[in-house]
Chains A and B, each alone.
Chain A
């Protein structure tokens, strides 16, 4: 290929970039501009939309009702991220440092659920948490309860489903970060008299930070925008922003408000990523 390392454009470069520019321009950027425009429009009662400059859709989000839903969504997504981190980090650590020659098999076993249909994974929990499902049978067998509990269609069921679905997204980047880690560093620290605990927090954890960041982003973003899992496991009671947006477009026929919600969700999430990355330092991210 070409060797042009200048700042200029060449025919080869233009040729390589043109298809992506065309596709992402027309089918990603322009649609986003459309909803940006719609978010300032006014919805007709029967679904039409009048463009204009109507800030009302954004003001509506400050209605305590919708603010609460946005808040709850961020809370659930944060909780999910923390739980995935708590479950995922020890496992990634285990595979990277104790897995030895089974490392590839062990990581492949994490990947299988990751490659499997999200709907299949959600369905598994619909079955298990159902009225006479396995979860209730296990609880009764262990004498933790004497009659079936309402497990499914609760916020806890939604959180459970989210953790289950997104755990592999946390483990894989964590493993990738830890795997590259030179164990001699750890040994050196320990030789110098640092305790294992100390070594972990001062040496291992900082080095795995890019994995923590990447994993957190990969879990937080999709779970904040999720609507399938709350829909299937929440019994429509735990309304998240994703459900609200879907309702505005497919039920309430209020595309303008739905567009405003979408813009707010996108800005909030991308803002959160930028803040998070900046806070923990981009140098670490790039080091990964």
Chain B
């Protein structure tokens, strides 16, 4: 962004096309961030307007805290996010191990199912699960949401962990086994720590996708299972309000903290 102009970044930006590139990059960052800043700014507005500034106030955050249904939706999202991440991360890691470590008949097919689940349009996944749950008389609710989230997250975790696994040096594992460690111990003591950055990255991705999912959840939600995105959707449908700005700001701040926390762990492991 603009403030880095004078820094070392400017070195090598001597000629015109480089300056144009810098300007363009600044413009894209502005495009990415301006709407977010506007959103955050008006969450502190003292009047109901989300467009005209009348003064500073925290009252919309107060209103947010008092809204039981938002807190409940947040809690539901958290339960769904954590449960589906734990399950999907375990299953996805196993699948990645199978795909990298073994050659077997049907591998191509397994591969294509894994990829198909990532590229299948969400709306198709959503309606097919709705149809399936209805036909199987499985009551819609938090359980069906978790089931659905695990289903789309397995593939993402598999892909991320697999990328890490395929670049891994096998010699340490072989040494451990030569020294008499059984496969289970080898996995727990040697393989898992080595692939952990991949597993953590997969889990972070899975949690975010789950926490943010709207389309699939919309179709499979039932009694008392409104997640935060469903709640936000109905709030927006109900009209623009600074309370939504306040909620958005909270989500943004949480996201940034989450990325920095997660990223730090991740980068640390990469170096180690």
Contact = CB atoms under 8 A, between A and B. Distances in A.
B223 interface: no
Interface stretch (B56-64, B65-73, B126-134): B126-134
A276 to B, nearest CB: 12
Interface in A219-273: 221-222, 224-225, 227-228, 232, 242, 245-246, 249, 255, 258-259, 262, 265-266, 269-270, 273
Given A4-B101, A23-B91, 19 more contacts: A17-B95, A19-B94, A23-B150, A24-B114, A24-B151, A31-B125, A31-B132, A38-B131, A91-B28, A94-B21, A98-B21, A109-B1, A109-B33, A111-B259, A117-B212, A120-B252, A123-B244, A133-B51, A164-B32
A109 B51 CA distance: 26
A280 interface: no
Interface stretch (A8-16, A59-67, A185-193, A201-209): A8-16
A13 B110 CA distance: 13
Contacts of B215: 227-228
B35 A124 contact: yes
A212 interface: no
B121 interface: yes
Given A87-B31, A119-B236, A100 B8 contact: yes
A158 interface: no
Contacts of B24: 90-91, 94
Chain B interface SS verdict (over half): helix
Interface in A50-101: 87-88, 90-91, 93-95, 98-101
- Name the interface size band of chain A: 35 or more
Interface in B11-31: 11-13, 17-18, 21-22, 24-25, 28-29, 31
A34 interface: yes
A5 B13 contact: no
B97 A16 contact: yes
Contacts of A153: none
Nearest to B263: A108
A29 interface: yes
Interface string A102-146: 100000111111011111111111111010111001000000000
Given A1-B191, A217-B119, A34 B132 contact: yes
A145 B158 CA distance: 52
B78 to A, nearest CB: 14
Nearest to A109: B29
B205 to A, nearest CB: 9
Contacts of B86: none
A62 to B, nearest CB: 20
A177 to B, nearest CB: 14
Nearest to A269: B121
Given A1-B173, A19-B91, A265 B121 contact: yes
Interface of A: 1-10, 12-13, 15-17, 19-21, 23-24, 27-32, 34-35, 38, 87-88, 90-91, 93-95, 98-102, 108-113, 115-128, 130, 132-134, 137, 164, 167-168, 196, 217, 221-222, 224-225, 227-228, 232, 242, 245-246, 249, 255, 258-259, 262, 265-266, 269-270, 273
A117 B251 contact: yes
Contacts of B39: 120, 123-124, 127
B22 A266 contact: no
B18 A128 contact: no
B200 interface: no
Most chain A CB within a 10 A radius of its CB, from B17, B110, B119: B119
Interface in B29-65: 29, 31-33, 35-36, 38-39, 42, 50-52
Nearest to B248: A120
B123 A94 contact: no
A93 B20 CA distance: 12
Interface string B84-103: 00000011101101100111
B170 to A, nearest CB: 9
A189 B244 CA distance: 53
Contacts of B25: 90-91, 94-95
A99 B8 CA distance: 9
Contacts of A93: 21
Nearest to A134: B38
A116 B191 CA distance: 32
Contact of B236 (A10, A101, A126): A126
A20 B154 contact: yes
B196 to A, nearest CB: 15
B9 A90 contact: no
Contacts of B122: 222, 225
Contacts of A242: 121, 123
Contact of B51 (A16, A30, A91, A130): A130
Contacts of A116: 36, 212, 251-252, 255
30 contacts: A1-B101, A3-B177, A5-B102, A10-B102, A15-B94, A16-B95, A16-B97, A19-B90, A19-B91, A19-B95, A20-B92, A24-B155, A29-B113, A31-B129, A32-B128, A34-B131, A34-B132, A90-B24, A108-B259, A111-B259, A120-B252, A123-B244, A132-B52, A164-B31, A222-B121, A222-B122, A227-B215, A265-B123, A270-B119, A270-B120
